[in-house]
Amino acid sequence: MVRLLIAIILLLAAFGLAFMFANQNDQTIQLNYLFGEASVQLVLLITVCLALGLIIGLSMSSLSLLKTKTQLKNTKRKLVKAEQELNNLRTMPIKEDL
């Protein structure tokens, strides 16, 4: 419950700072790109760039997480197989040929 309250307070503080930032940066800028140009508000451009960076970062992170989960699944499968083999070897009678 305390963690949730702290998370909500931090989220509200972040939104408050973002709102103050947006109010201070309301000017329009000329954006020149490869095939043209456009007039865009500075705060909109910063927000779009931040959102794109967040999406790309989360995508890369999720790919890494997927790879790790696949490796963990394969390792667990090998562990089960090794444990089964060990149990089979433990229950096997000992043969002594002298």
3-class state of residue 98 by DSSP: coil
Residue 5 belongs to some domain of the structure: no
For 28-71, the pLDDT digits (tens) are 999 898 889 999 988 888 889 989 999 999 999 999 999 999 99
Residue 65 belongs to some domain of the structure: yes
pLDDT at 10 over 90: yes
Please give the Cα distance from 22 to 16 (Å, whole number). 10
Residue 16 belongs to some domain of the structure: no
Residue 46 belongs to some domain of the structure: yes
**Domain tally, the chain:** 1
- CB-based burial label for 42 (10 Å; 0-12, 13-18, 19+): middle
pLDDT value for 55 = 95
* Domain extent at residue 52: 22-89
pLDDT at 81 over 70: yes
pLDDT at 92 over 70: yes
Residue 43 belongs to some domain of the structure: yes
pLDDT value for 70 = 97
Residue 12 belongs to some domain of the structure: no
DSSP states of 30-43: EEEETTEEEEEEHH
Are 33 and 49 in contact by the 8 Å Cβ rule? The answer is no
pTM for the model: 0.61
